Amino acid sequence: MKKRRKFTAAEKITLTVLALLMIGVAVAAAIIVVNNVNDANRKATDTAHTTVRLETSRAVETTAQPGATEKVIKKSKKSGTGSNTPAAQETSEAAKTASNNSTSSKTSKTSKTSSTPEAQDEQDDDKIPVVTPENNSSHSSKEKCVINGTTCYVGDTINVTLNLYAPKVLVNYQGYTDFDGNYLSCTSTKSTSGGLVNAKGNQILYNASNLNGLDFTSTGTVYTAKFKVKKAGSTTITNTLEVLCDLKDVPLDKNTCKTTVAVYS
């Protein structure tokens, strides 16, 4: 049998060094692999966090649109975060919170709008206004004629308005005004509430109908008319309401309504 050759001390040292080098190389390779795995995990985590932040931001920006919360949740599911993961829950909660804030803001804005002067002006625009003509700056003569308590002068053209108060918004109304033809002659009429006005003999006939409503609840002018004063003395212009119906076409009690003939000399 051949005898196994014994290594010399120098050879043993060399082999030991080689073994140590191989071990070092293996350890270094293992460290590199571990570092690569850690880097990959860290990048995946950062990507997930970035996705969550983007989804949250989008949720906050889009909650003013109807169904925004549902869209964000569905988008989170498609991206793979899962409805039970912390990321999906965070996105969903952010969307819900922003949606609630948006709803609260809209409610507050609506409340403010309804109480602003502009909103009140819009509501007042629906009411029939009161017309106030100017008085004459000079007179045709010194002869006086007292009409409904107002001193007028013979030869002058005066303005007369018929104002109406009704406790409810009307769908229609009808009536007539009487005057004494010995003292006055009607030269023109004009409706100020969208109705019809016609002077016939010693009467002014008027009526109006509007399915959207005629609002005299704050008193408004039905018509204006011009009269020529013919004679000195005293006379009265009177008015009669024939019918007034509310928006349900139910006749109103005429005793709850009021008309006023205003004379401007």
* Tens digit of each residue's pLDDT (9 = 90 or more) over 67-81: 544 444 444 444 444
Predicted TM-score (pTM) of this structure: 0.54
CATH number, residue 148: 2.60.40.680
Residue 253, Cα to own-chain centre: how many angstroms? Answer: 36
Residue 112's pLDDT is what?
Answer: 40
Q: Which two tokens stand for residue 12?
A: 């043993």
pLDDT tens per residue, range 25-69: 888 888 888 888 777 777 776 666 655 555 555 554 444 444 544
Q: Which two tokens stand for residue 95?
A: 């969307």
Query: Among 121-135, 170-184, 189-203, 223-237, which stretch is predicted with the lowest mean pLDDT?
Result: 121-135
More confident of the two residues 98 and 124: 124
Residue 132 in domain: no
The single residue listed with the structure tokens 């308005």 is 161
Helix, strand or coil for residue 207?
strand
21, 76: one domain: yes
More confident of the two residues 20 and 215: 215
- Overall domain count for the chain: 2
Q: DSSP secondary-structure letter at 127?
A: B
- Residue 102, pLDDT > 80, answer no
Confidence of residue 242 (pLDDT cuts 50, 70, 90): very high
Residue 5's pLDDT is what?
Answer: 66
Helix, strand or coil for residue 253?
coil
Residue 158 in domain: yes
C-alpha torsion angle, residues 86, 91, 92, 94 (rounded to 10): 120
Q: DSSP secondary-structure letter at 54?
A: H
Residue 11's pLDDT is what?
Answer: 78
Residue 176's pLDDT is what?
Answer: 98
Residue 93's pLDDT is what?
Answer: 59
CA-to-CA separations, 50 to 43, 54, 72, 192, 252, in angstroms, rounded: 10, 6, 15, 67, 70
Distance between CA atoms of residues 146 and 233, nearest Å: 6
Residue 72 in domain: yes
Residue 129 in domain: no
Residue 137 in domain: no
C-alpha torsion angle, residues 215, 220, 226, 229 (rounded to 10): 140
- Residue 215, pLDDT > 80, answer yes
Distance between CA atoms of residues 28 and 36, nearest Å: 12
Are 209 and 172 contacting, i.e. CB atoms less than 8 angstroms apart? Answer: yes
Other residues' Cβ atoms within 10 Å of the Cβ of residue 185: 15
Q: Which two tokens stand for residue 137?
A: 């700056």
Confidence of residue 107 (pLDDT cuts 50, 70, 90): very low
Q: Which two tokens stand for residue 259?
A: 């008309």
Beta-carbon contacts of 79 under 8 Å, excluding residues fewer than 6 positions away, are 51, 55
70, 32: one domain: yes
Domain coverage including residue 27: 9-115
Rounded to the nearest integer, the mean pLDDT of the chain is 79
